[in-house]
Amino acid sequence: MKKQPDNRAVPMSAPACPVPPTNYENILLAHGGGGKLTADLIEKLFLPAFGDPALDERHDGAEINIGRIRLAMTTDSFVVTPLFFPGGDIGRLAVYGTLNDLAMCGARPLFLSAAFIIEEGLPLKTVHQVADSMGKAAKSSGIRLITGDTKVIERKSGNDLFVTTTGIGIIEHGLKISPQSIMKGDKIILSGDIGRHGTAVMACREGFEFETTIESDCAPLWNQVEIMLRENIEIHCLRDLTRGGLATALVEIAETSGLRLEIEESLIPVSDQVAGACEILGLDPLYVANEGRFICFVPEKQAGAAIGLLRQSAPNAAIIGQATDTPKKDYSNIRVVMKTPLGTSRIIDRITGDQLPRIC
Amino acid sequence: MKFLDEFRNSDLTGKYLQAIKATIRQPWTIMEICGGQTHSILKYGLDQMLPDEITLLHGPGCPVCVTPIELIDMAIGIAGQPNVILCTFGDMMRVPGSDGNLLDARARGNDIRMVYSPLESLKIAENNPDKRIVFFGIGFETTAPTTALALKKAKKNRFDNYFVLSAHVRVPPAIELILSSPENRVQAFLAAGHVCTVMGYREYIPIAENFHVPIVVTGFEPVDILQGICMAINQLERGAAAVENQYSRVVSENGNSMARKLIDEVFETTSRKWRGIGEIAGGGLSIKPDYAAYDAARVFGPVVAKVEESPRCLSGKVLRGLIKPPECPAFAVDCSPANPLGAPMVSAEGACAAYYNYSISRQGPIGG
Amino acid sequence: MCLAVPGRIIEIAGADIERTAKVEFGGVVKQISLAVLPEACPGDYVIVHAGVAISRINEDEAKRVFKFMEQAAAANDESLSKDEISG
- Which of A136, A154, A171 is the C-terminal boundary of a domain? A171
CA–CA gap between residue C55 and residue C6 (Å, rounded): 10
B214-225 as b/e, with b when 16 or more CB fall inside 10 Å?
A: bbbbbbbbbbbb
Taking alpha carbons only, the member of B110, B61, B103, B71 closest to residue B349 is B61
**Per-residue pLDDT, C80:** 47
Taking alpha carbons only, the member of B123, C34, B3, C10 closest to residue A210 is C10
Residue B212, strand partner residues:
none
Taking alpha carbons only, the member of B152, B81, B98, B146 closest to residue B120 is B146
CA–CA gap between residue C11 and residue A294 (Å, rounded): 39
**Per-residue pLDDT, B368:** 27
Query: Does a structural domain hold residue A299?
Result: yes
**Per-residue pLDDT, B102:** 93
Q: Is the pLDDT of residue B82 over 60?
A: yes
A166 and A281 belong to one structural domain: no
Query: Does a structural domain hold residue A9?
Result: no
The C-alpha of A274 sits at a distance from chain C's nearest C-alpha, in angstroms, of 8
CATH of the domain at A258: 3.90.650.10
CA torsion through residues A103, A105, A111, A114, sign: negative
CA–CA gap between residue B227 and residue B232 (Å, rounded): 9
Q: Rounded mean pLDDT of B215-234?
A: 96
Query: Does a structural domain hold residue A324?
Result: yes
- Which of A142, A171, A200 is the C-terminal boundary of a domain? A171
CA–CA gap between residue B169 and residue B162 (Å, rounded): 21
Residue B80's identity, in one-letter code, is G
**Per-residue pLDDT, C76:** 43
Query: If you ran DSSP here, which 8-state letter would residue A31 be given?
Result: G
Query: Does a structural domain hold residue A3?
Result: no
Ramachandran assignment for B5, one of left (phi > 0), alpha (psi -120 to 50 degrees), beta (any other): alpha
Tens digits of per-residue pLDDT, B262-299? 999 999 999 999 988 889 999 999 999 999 999 999 99
Beta-carbon separation of A211 and C29 below 8 A: yes
Does the beta carbon of B251 lie under 8 angstroms from any beta carbon of chain C?
A: yes
User: What percent of chain B lies above the pLDDT cut of 90?
Assistant: 67
Q: B261-268: long-range contacts (C-beta < 8 A, 24 or more apart)?
A: B262/B145, B262/B148, B262/B149, B262/B152, B262/C35, B262/C36, B263/B141, B263/B144, B263/B145, B263/B148, B263/B198, B265/B148, B265/B152, B265/B290, B266/B147, B266/B148, B266/B151, B266/B152, B266/B290, B266/B291, B267/B144, B267/B148, B267/B166, B267/B168
A188 and A283 belong to one structural domain: yes
CA–CA gap between residue B147 and residue B330 (Å, rounded): 36
Which of C47, C59, C87 lies at the smallest CB-CB distance from B197? C47
Residue B170 contacts residue B267 (beta carbons within 8 Å):
no
A130 and A162 belong to one structural domain: yes
Mean pLDDT of chain B: 91
Ramachandran assignment for A51, one of left (phi > 0), alpha (psi -120 to 50 degrees), beta (any other): left
Beta-carbon separation of A276 and C26 below 8 A: yes
Beta-carbon separation of C5 and A214 below 8 A: no
A339 and A246 belong to one structural domain: yes
A256 and A161 belong to one structural domain: no
Q: What are phi and psi of A149, to 5 degrees?
A: -155, 155
| Contact residues on chain C for B223, CB-CB shorter than 8 A | 65
Q: Rounded mean pLDDT of B81-91?
A: 92
Choose between B342 and B10: higher pLDDT. Answer: B10
A73 and A144 belong to one structural domain: yes
- Please enumerate in sequence order all residues whose Cβ is within 8 A of that of A31, keeping only pairs 6 or more positions apart, or say none: A24, A37, A38, A41
**Per-residue pLDDT, A311:** 95
Which of B8, B338, B362 lies at the smallest CB-CB distance from A36? B338
The C-alpha of C22 sits at a distance from chain A's nearest C-alpha, in angstroms, of 9
Tens digits of per-residue pLDDT, A54-87? 787 666 688 888 999 999 999 999 987 788 888 8
Domains of chain B, earliest start first: 19-359 (3.40.50.11740)
Q: If you compute the radius of gyration of chain C from its CA atoms, what whole number of angstroms results?
A: 17
Q: Is the pLDDT of residue B366 over 60?
A: no
Range of the domain at A84: 61-171
- Which of A171, A206, A230 is the C-terminal boundary of a domain? A171
Query: Does a structural domain hold residue A232?
Result: yes
Taking alpha carbons only, the member of A349, A348, A345, A264 closest to residue B48 is A345
| Contact residues on chain B for A272, CB-CB shorter than 8 A | 1
Does the beta carbon of C25 lie under 8 angstroms from any beta carbon of chain B?
A: yes
Q: Is the pLDDT of residue B207 over 90?
A: yes
Q: Rounded mean pLDDT of A94-122?
A: 94
- The least confident of A187-201, A227-241, A280-294, A328-342 is A328-342
Q: Is the pLDDT of residue B50 over 70?
A: yes
Please give the distance of CA A158 from its chain centroid, rounded to a whole number.
28
Residue A246 contacts residue A190 (beta carbons within 8 Å):
yes
CA–CA gap between residue C67 and residue C73 (Å, rounded): 10
Q: Is the pLDDT of residue A17 over 80?
A: no
Give the pLDDT band of residue B324 (cuts 50, 70, 90): confident
CA–CA gap between residue A31 and residue A35 (Å, rounded): 8
CA–CA gap between residue C15 and residue C38 (Å, rounded): 9
With contact defined as 3+ CB pairs under 8 Å, the chains touching C are A, B
Query: If you ran DSSP here, which 8-state letter would residue A104 be given?
Result: T
pLDDT, tens digit only, all 87 positions of chain C? 478 999 999 999 999 999 999 999 887 888 999 999 999 999 999 999 999 999 999 999 988 877 765 665 555 444 444 555 554
A138 and A271 belong to one structural domain: no
Give the pLDDT band of residue A22 (cuts 50, 70, 90): low
The C-alpha of B368 sits at a distance from chain C's nearest C-alpha, in angstroms, of 31
A314 and A200 belong to one structural domain: yes
Q: What are phi and psi of B52, to 5 degrees?
A: -60, -20
Which of B62, B91, B357 lies at the smallest CB-CB distance from A356? B91
CA–CA gap between residue A45 and residue A29 (Å, rounded): 16
Beta-carbon separation of C65 and B36 below 8 A: no
Q: Is the pLDDT of residue A2 over 70?
A: no
3-state SS, residue C76 = coil
Which of C20, C22, C23, C28 to probe by mutation at the A interface, max A CB count within 10 Å? C28
Q: Is the pLDDT of residue B1 over 90?
A: no
Mean pLDDT of chain A: 85
A158-167 as b/e, with b when 16 or more CB fall inside 10 Å?
A: eebbbbbbbb
Please give the distance of CA A348 from its chain centroid, rounded to a whole number.
17
Domains of chain C, earliest start first: 1-56 (2.30.30.140), 59-87 (no CATH)
Query: Does a structural domain hold residue A10?
Result: no
Helix, strand, coil % over all residues of chain C, rounded to 5 = 30, 35, 35
Q: Rounded mean pLDDT of B102-109?
A: 89
A211 and A84 belong to one structural domain: no
CA–CA gap between residue A116 and residue A161 (Å, rounded): 7
A202 and A313 belong to one structural domain: yes
Beta-carbon separation of C2 and B192 below 8 A: yes
**Per-residue pLDDT, C14:** 95
- The count of domains in chain A is 2
Q: What are phi and psi of B198, to 5 degrees?
A: -80, -50
Query: Does a structural domain hold residue A50?
Result: no
CATH of the domain at A110: 3.30.1330.10
Beta-carbon separation of C80 and B194 below 8 A: no
Q: Is the pLDDT of residue B83 over 90?
A: yes
A200 and A95 belong to one structural domain: no
Tens digits of per-residue pLDDT, A34-49? 677 788 888 888 888 9
Which of C1, C29, C48 lies at the smallest CB-CB distance from A210? C29
With contact defined as 3+ CB pairs under 8 Å, the chains touching A are B, C
How do beta strands B267-274 and A209-210 pair? unpaired
**Per-residue pLDDT, A11:** 34
Total number of residues shown for chain C: 87
Beta-carbon separation of A360 and C30 below 8 A: no
| Contact residues on chain B for A340, CB-CB shorter than 8 A | 43-45
Residue A252 contacts residue A60 (beta carbons within 8 Å):
no
3-state SS, residue A322 = strand
The C-alpha of A275 sits at a distance from chain C's nearest C-alpha, in angstroms, of 7
User: What percent of chain A lies above the pLDDT cut of 90?
Assistant: 56
User: What percent of chain B lies above the pLDDT cut of 70?
Assistant: 95
Query: Does a structural domain hold residue A138?
Result: yes
The C-alpha of A194 sits at a distance from chain C's nearest C-alpha, in angstroms, of 16
The C-alpha of C32 sits at a distance from chain B's nearest C-alpha, in angstroms, of 10
- Please enumerate in sequence order all residues whose Cβ is within 8 A of that of A2, keeping only pairs 6 or more positions apart, or say none: none
List the beta strands (DSSP E) in C14-64. 20-25, 28-33, 45-49, 52-56
**Residue B302, preceding peptide bond in cis (omega within 30° of 0):** no
- Please enumerate in sequence order all residues whose Cβ is within 8 A of that of B290, keeping only pairs 6 or more positions apart, or say none: B265, B266
Residue A17: count other Cβ atoms within 10 Å of its Cβ.
Answer: 10
A198 and A309 belong to one structural domain: yes
CA–CA gap between residue B319 and residue A248 (Å, rounded): 30
First to last CA, chain C: 26
Beta-carbon separation of B89 and A342 below 8 A: no
